[in-house]
Structure 1
């Protein structure tokens, strides 16, 4: 019986470690440049901030519409300062660099995408 408890304990510990890694782990970090097309709060049960960045690649993808050349990302719900700054640059039409992280796993209370903005770098000061 003692060995069964130890095995169950280690399995539980392993599952918790895997869940924590998937929830907080970062798969990719990077920067995207463009203009903020939209930032909005969405959701019925879980209110999340979702945004769209126009990449403005100036014809790099021939035959595609300008809407196809966008980057969808979310903002952590607790990051109100970043939301305010994104709203400001969306209204001003400034070109910005969005620093982001890509998570392994998407959960509904965090955002609609796996990409999360960590900061915005304004190119026009």
Structure 2
């Protein structure tokens, strides 16, 4: 009986650990978004995180009903790296390309968004310095 309960507890813990990994740490996707940086702020009550919004070119309908208002595409994101966040703060209002990673869920200490910017690809017409690439071993 005790052995069965122990196995059940271990299985429950493994399933829970797998769920937490998949929901919060598994990188679901990655890509580059381009647009005008609307704002970059540092906010939070317990965990101070960097949050930003990129306004992308193009328009979409706000709803599926005819006559709905037209809105621009907005990309809300978080930034973990303080240096990237401060550079974004200095360049608010400029066109830029940002490389990001998408997770299945947000963590309070990582930011409010499931999208986390990891690199600035370009600001305006200036390309950022490419990341160091290490040869495959």
Answer whether TM exceeds 0.5 for this pair: yes
Gaps of 5+ in 2: 62-68, 127-137
Counterpart of 2:66? Answer: none
SS of 1:121 mapped into structure 2:
strand
Does residue 118 (structure 1) correspond to residue 122 (structure 2)? The answer is no
| More helix per residue | 1
User: What is the CA–CA distance in structure 1 between the aligned matches of 2:99 and 2:112, rounded to whole Å?
Assistant: 17
Match of 2:84 among 75, 82, 85: 82
Q: Higher relative CO (CA 8 A, sep ≥ 6), structure 1 or 2?
A: 1
Secondary structure (helix, strand or coil) at the match of 1:55 reads strand
In angstroms, what is the RMSD of aligned CA positions? Answer: 1.9
Q: 1:64 aligns with which of 61, 70, 93?
A: 70
- Name the one with the larger strand percent: 2
For the pair shown, the structure with the greater C-alpha radius of gyration is 2
Asked whether the 8 Å contact 1:94–1:124 carries over to 2, the reply is: no
Corresponding residue pairs, total: 117
Contact 1:34 1:53 in 2 (8 A): yes
**Corresponding residue for 2:37?**
36
C-alpha deviation, 1:31, in angstroms: 1.3
* Structure 1, unaligned runs of 5 or more: none
**Superposition deviation, residue 34 in structure 1:** 0.9
